[in-house]
Amino acid sequence: MASPFVELRRQLHQIPEPGFQEFKTQQLLLDTLARLPQDRMIIRTWRTGILVYIAGTNPKKRYGYRADMDGLPITEETTLPFPSQHPGYMHACGHDLHMSIGMGVIAHFANEPMQDDLVVFFQPAEEGPGGALPMLAAEELQDWKPDQIVALHIAPEYPVGTIATKPEILFANTSELFIDLLGKGGHAAYPHQANDMIVAGAQMVGQLHTIVSRNVNPLDSAVITIGKMEAGTKQNIIAEKARLEGTIRTLSADSMAKIKKRIEAVASGIESSYDCKVTIDYGSNYRQVYNDPALTEEFMDWLRGNDNIHLIECTEAMTGEDFGYFLEQIPGFMFWLGVDTPHGLHHAKIEPDERAIDIAIETITAYLRHHSSR
């Protein structure tokens, strides 16, 4: 029989919700918390998020664990017997696992407290527009700020039982990218009387893809991805508008600033070439995930003595995570948790191996207990 936290993951998996609309998710987590011993627990809600305080036996310090809550606009194509019940939405980035692991950590310390205090943050809207920054500024959190914090992210490429991390930068700086092109629509047979935004938008995508290869130092990694392009209404109508939606990733703040300047230059070139209006909106921006070097090294050393975990010192990834904002204010680290599936993050067929859930709960609780008693 599956552990209660695997069961919880299966329930969460069925109700993926967009950022700041995690209403059913919040209720399910609150109902689950209500079944745990309450004597050491204080629960606060913030928007669709939850903060859970577990008082220690003789606290000198406060630890934190953060789990993200939102799903993605993906139509699930897994073979799981508990698929998403929300059409067009899926937990395809492991947040269902991150939350069930958080609940396992809470249950562990609610039953057998450690010396120090613990706050678990169930944080909405990691995929966008970003729940971490407003949550960190929320009144509900001010007297509960931890002294040290940890979070994890599932890693499809690693076997179960693997943890991968590194000191310093783990995940990139990110900026969303929304570009609107406005030209002049018209009849398909009269292109000379219109400004076709399909042609302008396609040109712009091509030019955007030269920025990383031609303007960024190759030793300083960066990515521009356009994940969505929308234009036109019918095959014989010239499109008046086009919209490009994407994301920028960089390891350095300098490259992010440079890329944005180049995008603006490309946009003004497109405006004059196609006699159109181009508007850029950078949406939400996430700070890099910067692992505290001393705490991460110490965690890695501790893992080396743990026979159940295979530790990998990995390289940086160009993924983003608004946990970077937590790490800007609170020392701590993030790590990858192996879930061994051939399909990557954000893929409709991703099926993380659930055995990783109990492994993560055991590892985090043992680490916190070890650290807390020092």
Ligand X SMILES: CC(=O)N[C@@H](CCC[C@H](N)C(=O)O)C(=O)O
Catalytic residue (choose from 22, 76, 116, 127): 127
In the list 32, 247, 255, 372, the residue contacting ligand X (rule: CB under 6 A) is 247
70 is a contact residue toward ligand X (CB under 6 A): no
Do you find a cis peptide bond into 129, omega within 30 degrees of 0?
yes
Query: Segment near ligand X (CB under 6 A), from 179-187, 261-269, 287-295, 317-325?
Result: 317-325
How far apart CA 230 and CA 121 sit, in angstroms, is 36
DSSP SS3 for 111: helix
| 316 catalytic per annotation | no
In the list 17, 176, 196, 340, the residue contacting ligand X (rule: CB under 6 A) is 176
> Which residues are CB-contacts of 214 (< 8 A; sequence separation ≥ 6)?
none
Site for ligand X in 142-161 (CB under 6 A): 153
Q: How far apart are the first and last CA of the chain?
A: 36
> In the complex with ligand X, which residue's Cβ is closer, 170 or 278?
170
162 is a contact residue toward ligand X (CB under 6 A): no
In the list 96, 127, 240, 354, the residue contacting ligand X (rule: CB under 6 A) is 127
Q: Which of 225, 352, 249, 369 is nearest to 306 (CA)?
A: 369
314 labeled part of a ligand binding site: no
Q: What tokens were used for 102?
A: 């958080």
Q: How many residues does the chain have?
A: 374
120 is a contact residue toward ligand X (CB under 6 A): no
| 127 catalytic per annotation | yes
In the list 76, 321, 340, 354, the residue contacting ligand X (rule: CB under 6 A) is 321
CB of 68 to ligand X, least distance (A): 9
Handedness of CA 155, 158, 160, 164 (dihedral sign): negative
In the list 64, 146, 183, 320, the residue contacting ligand X (rule: CB under 6 A) is 320
319 is a contact residue toward ligand X (CB under 6 A): yes
174 is a contact residue toward ligand X (CB under 6 A): yes
CB of 128 to ligand X, least distance (A): 3
> In the complex with ligand X, which residue's Cβ is closer, 64 or 128?
128
How far apart CA 86 and CA 73 sit, in angstroms, is 10
How far apart CA 235 and CA 169 sit, in angstroms, is 47
Q: State the CB neighbour count (10 A cutoff) for residue 65.
A: 25
Site for ligand X in 74-113 (CB under 6 A): 93
For 201, phi and psi rounded to 5 degrees? -65, -40
Residues with active-site annotation: 68, 127
